[in-house]
Amino acid sequence: MNNLPSLITDLAIILIFACIFSVLCKILHQPVVLGYIIAGFIAGHNFSFLPNVAPESIHTWAEIGVIFLLFGMGLEFSFKKLIKTGKSGLKSVLFETITLSIMGFCVGKFLLRWSVADSLLLGAMLIMSSTAIIVKTFNDLSLTKEKFTSLVFGILIFEDLFAIIIMVLLSTLANAKEIEGLSILFLILKLLFFVIIWFVGGIYLIPTLLKTLKRWLNEETLLIVSLGLCFGLVVFATSVGFSSALGAFVMGSLLAETVEQERIERITLPIKDFFGAIFFVSVGMMVDPVIILSNFKIILLLSTCSIAGKMIFTTTGIRLSGQSLKTSIQSGFSLAQMGEFAFIVASVGMSLKVTSSFIYPIVIAVSVITTFTTPYTIRLALPFYRILESILPKRWLDHLNKTEDHRMKKPTSAWGELLKSYLLYLLIFLTICTAIILISFSIIYPLSLKILSPMVANIVVAALTFVALSPIVLGMIHNRGKQSFLFLSLWSEEKYNRLFLTLLIGLRYMVALFIVFIVLNKFFAVPAFALFIVAVVVFALIFQSKGVMKNYWRLESRFVKNFNQRQIEQRKQEYSLKGENGDTLHALDNSHWIDRHIYISSFEIIKGCEFGNHTLKHLALRSKHSILLLSVQRGSNQHNFPDGDFVLQEKDTILVCGQIDYLQRLTEQFTKLTLNFRQTKPLAEFAMQQEQVSNSKIKCLTFIVNKNSSWIGKNLMDSKIGQRSQCLVIGLERDGRPIVNPSSHLTFKRNDMIWVMGDEKSLYKLLESNFFTTTIGK
């Protein structure tokens, strides 16, 4: 042990200096990150009389630190949080990205005379705020529960995504000999392809893997599995030309969607803090005091640009996104600093030799200065707003404080929604098909040639490829959920819409047929015309196969279940109201898959309609047409959940629910019944509207059948729940699979999520009376 490896010696120096200066910063109430940077500055090669780390080790430590930092950020990231932040955060970041990038480029190119690449990177780095500094400052100033903080965190998520994209661009451009428009486009398409595959494949496989291994996943094994997945994707990302940071972030974000997210975050936190400290120390090691002193005026200029630019442009962007002036100022002033992601990007650019080396220490210095000023800019927000409040005319101030929620919202375009949904689904399915074909052609086929004759290999691999592709191709050509509703709505709205809708449908069929043709063309050398006929036959067999359709629904149900698994568990544990029988009651929200299958609409029974003067029992809407009748409006009276003896009359308006296809089919089977698509709403939207109406007579609730529930083993027919409580069971979700309008003979099982509609009194009476225990057999 006389000669320790340099790795251990370097680690000892890093940790000793980090310990001293982090504790010192804590005593002085300064950010710990600042202490790490100072420790690195001391431990670097700037002071020859002190122990220092070998220069060749610095980049290795920095690379490991970045991996763990980005993995930790991914664990805190959530696709649902990103969706929830919505247009407001995205609009704000787009505005600040454009304006700050232009400002940074102009300052770098025209004032500082930097190169184009350095100026572009400066513009990008001005956009990036510090999540760590903002969180700490909010905690210190007791602002975490303020309204504007959630918006700030949403914007930080978009900024982090922007930083990830910049790092990917840097790493890819470093490997390219020339920077051309086509190479940039190819890079973007390549990034989009792999992100879609990682997201879809990760959501499908990783939650299932963790659930399968759950009985063996103690703290130790879960840590090893999580880090193994992280470094596995890191290696794969770098092998296909992306940065290690992207692989770490993507895997963290995938694990963030699992029920184990909190455990993974807790057990990896010490490791993330440890390697994060090492990274920030390594950042300090790369600071050159000579460059800082010689560029002191530039550092002050960029610090001023960072603070003032963020205050002005970020505040303006948030205001333009629909937030009030007060919220915009508080948010913009909170984001007025250059964050740690800026020097992460700078270090990546320097190590890849894409940008000049002198930028790095300048960025570090700017980040340190703006870190000190952050608490003061946050405190300055309210006084600045009060100054504006005192000098601006009241009419202006009222307009500037009017949020988007109080403005007249423009009606959402059905065409816009349809095209967005259509293109998104087509892109996802086409990407998955492309991935399957690439794996088949480049991996499976070469391996099969080593053990099989060429003819047998062609047949076997073609068959395997079609088995894998069939459910995806079939899913591609089918409408689903809201897309189906929008197609039918626009189809019935105007005859002129039908041509374009037919073209959209035809495009999907052509893409699917082309995929089949590509596979056949690879493995079978026959004339193109004959090959096309074979492709049509194969496609027809796939289209007609019920087994293939069943496989597709199985794949999609697992994906949706995995994607919503964490939220479902949170609802069970945190937001539940227990009934006496152990069943759990939840307000219906829009995070369930079944919401995409059930719609609420109304029909008016005009003169001559077949519904007039008939009982509901005679019409048998539920058993014959899979439609549930919720209420009947007769003049000023509303009859909710009428029984089978209720007689419908002319001029009645009936409120019904069911799948959109069945609602449309009802209008085709009965004359003088017209479905009003403009008033047709998804179940989730209808439920939320009813919750907002204080005197609403119709409510939607969800029951989750727990393991000790008396509902287990019972069915609707035996319980006579509809007769006794005037409630309707409209659907249930079992193992992620929706069952709309379940049969009266269907037996309830543990963890079933049951959707019930009724008035508030009846729904709570259902729980209190505990029908499944007290009424059966009487």
Instruction: Tell me the pLDDT band of 33, cut-offs 50, 70 and 90.
Output: confident
Place of tokens 């029920």: 259
Looking at residue 1, its pLDDT comes to: 44
Distance, CA of 743 to CA of 342 (rounded, Å): 58
CB 543 within 8 A of CB 509: no
For residue 290, the Cα-to-chain-centroid distance in whole angstroms is 45
pLDDT above 70 (res 222) = yes
Is it the case that residue 567 has pLDDT exceeding 70? no
Report pLDDT for 50. 77
d(CA 99, CA 309) in angstroms, rounded, equals 9
Running DSSP on this structure, what letter comes out for residue 715? Answer: B
**Best CA proximity match to 580, nearest among 770, 309, 418:** 770
- Average pLDDT of the residues in 41-51: 77
445: amino acid identity, one letter = Y
- Cα torsion 739, 742, 745, 747 to 10°: value is 50
How many CB atoms neighbour CB 4 within 10 A? 11
Question: Residue written as tokens 């035996």?
Answer: 718
The answer, yes or no, to whether residue 334 has pLDDT greater than 80, is yes
The domain at 569-774 falls in which architecture?
A: 2-Layer Sandwich (3.30)
pLDDT(374) > 70: yes
**Taking the mean position of all CA atoms in its chain, how far away is CA 328?**
25
- Please state, in angstroms and rounded to a whole number, the distance separating the CA atoms of residues 346 and 363: 8
Which range in 131-145, 465-479, 557-571 is most confidently predicted, on average pLDDT? 465-479
**Comparing C-alpha atoms, which of 288, 285, 284, 306 is closest to residue 359?**
288
> How confident is the model at residue 311, as a pLDDT?
92
pLDDT of residue 19: 92
Structure tokens at 625: 């047409």
Q: pLDDT (tens digit, 9 = 90+) per residue, 299-331?
A: 999 999 999 999 999 999 988 888 888 888 999
pLDDT (mean) for 658-663:
77
CA 603 to chain centre: 37
**In this model, does residue 588 exceed pLDDT 50?**
no
pLDDT > 60? residue 680: yes
Task: Please check whether residue 429 is in contact with residue 475, taking contact to mean a CB–CB distance below 8 angstroms.
Answer: yes
Q: Would you state the structure tokens that stand for residue 142, as one six-digit string? A: 């007791």
DSSP character string of 309-336: HIIIIIHHHHHHTT--HHHHHHHHHHT-
Place of tokens 């998104």: 424
Distance CA 164, CA 350 (A): 16
Partners of residue 654 on adjacent β-strands: 603, 632
* 91-100, 244-253, 392-401, 672-681, range with greatest mean pLDDT: 91-100
Per-residue pLDDT band for 475 (boundaries 50, 70, 90) equals confident
Q: For residue 290, what are its two tokens?
A: 């000579």
Structure tokens that stand for 412 in this block: 């959402």
The pLDDT score that the predictor gives to residue 465 is: 92
Q: What is the pLDDT of residue 692?
A: 61
Q: Locate 606 and state its tokens.
A: 């005009």
**C-alpha to C-alpha distance for 171 and 490, rounded to whole angstroms:** 45
User: Which residues does residue 656 pair with via DSSP β-bridges, in sequence order?
Assistant: 601, 629
Phi and psi dihedrals of 742, rounded to 5?
-65, 150
Question: What secondary structure does DSSP assign to 485-519, as a single string?
Answer: HHHHHHHHH-TTHHHHHHHHHHHHHHHHHHHHHHH
Reading phi first (left if > 0) and then psi (alpha if -120 to 50, else beta), residue 739 is in beta
Greater confidence (444 vs 721) lies with 444
DSSP per-residue string spanning 510-528: HHHHHHHHHHHHHH----H
Asked whether residue 85 carries a pLDDT value surpassing 70, the answer given is: no
Backbone angles phi, psi at 673, to 5 degrees: -120, 120
CB 548 within 8 A of CB 476: no
Question: In whole numbers, what is the pLDDT of the chain averaged over residues?
Answer: 78
- Phi then psi for 602, rounded to 5 degrees? -135, 150
pLDDT confidence of residue 447: 92
Q: Which two tokens stand for residue 225?
A: 């599995």
Return all residues near 702 (Cβ < 8 A) that are at least 6 apart. 585, 586, 587, 588, 592, 753, 754, 755, 756
Q: How far apart are the first and last CA of the chain?
A: 83
Least confident of 136-145, 249-258, 453-462: 136-145
Instruction: Give yes or no for residue 86 having a pLDDT over 70.
Output: no
Cα 221 to Cα 151: distance, rounded to the nearest angstrom = 36
Please compute the mean of the pLDDT values over residues 525-552 and round it to a whole number. 86
If one counts every other C-beta atom within 10 angstroms of the C-beta of residue 646, the result is 14
Most confidently modeled of 148-157, 537-546, 736-745?
537-546
The pLDDT of residue 155: 83
- Pick from 32-46, 127-141, 394-408, 737-751: least confident: 394-408
The model's confidence at residue 477, banded by pLDDT at 50, 70 and 90, is confident
pLDDT at 406: 44
pLDDT at position 436: 93
Least confident of 410-414, 525-529, 627-631, 734-738: 410-414
CATH 3.30.70.1450 in the chain, residues?
A: 569-774
Taking 3-state DSSP, the helix, strand and coil percentages for the chain, each rounded to the nearest 5, stand at 70, 5, 25
Residue 93's closest CA among 2, 177, 159?
159
Q: Which residue has the higher pLDDT, 347 or 647?
A: 647
CATH 1.20.1530.20 residue spans of the chain: 58-276+288-382
Other CB atoms within a 10 A radius of the CB of residue 521 amount to 14
The pLDDT > 70 percentage for the chain reads 80
Q: What is the pTM of this model?
A: 0.69
* 3-state secondary structure (DSSP) of residue 115: coil
pLDDT digits (tens, 9 = 90+) for 685-727: 777 677 666 566 677 776 667 665 666 777 777 666 655 566 7
The continuous run of DSSP H or E covering 637 comes out as strand 637-640
C-alpha–C-alpha distance, residues 523 and 534, integer Å: 13
Confidence tier at 590 by pLDDT (50, 70, 90): very low
Task: Supply φ then ψ for residue 639, to 5 degrees.
Answer: -105, 110
Residue 735: pLDDT band with limits 50, 70, 90: low
For residue 496, report the phi and psi dihedrals to the nearest 5 degrees. Answer: -65, -25
What are 129's two structure tokens?
Answer: 């705020």
pLDDT for position 515: 92
Can you tell me the distance from the alpha carbon of 581 to that of 56, in angstroms, rounded to the nearest whole number?
Answer: 66
Question: What's the pLDDT score for residue 333?
Answer: 92
- Could you give the C-alpha distances from 150 to 256, 383, 407, in angstroms and in order? 19, 21, 21
Q: CATH topology for 58-276+288-382?
A: Na+/H+ antiporter like fold (1.20.1530)
Bigger pLDDT: 442 or 344? 442
Residue 510's pLDDT band (cuts 50, 70, 90): very high
pLDDT for 770: 43
Tokens of residue 411, six digits: 């009606």
pLDDT at 719: 61
- 412 exposed, middle or buried (CB, 10 Å; 0-12, 13-18, 19+)? exposed
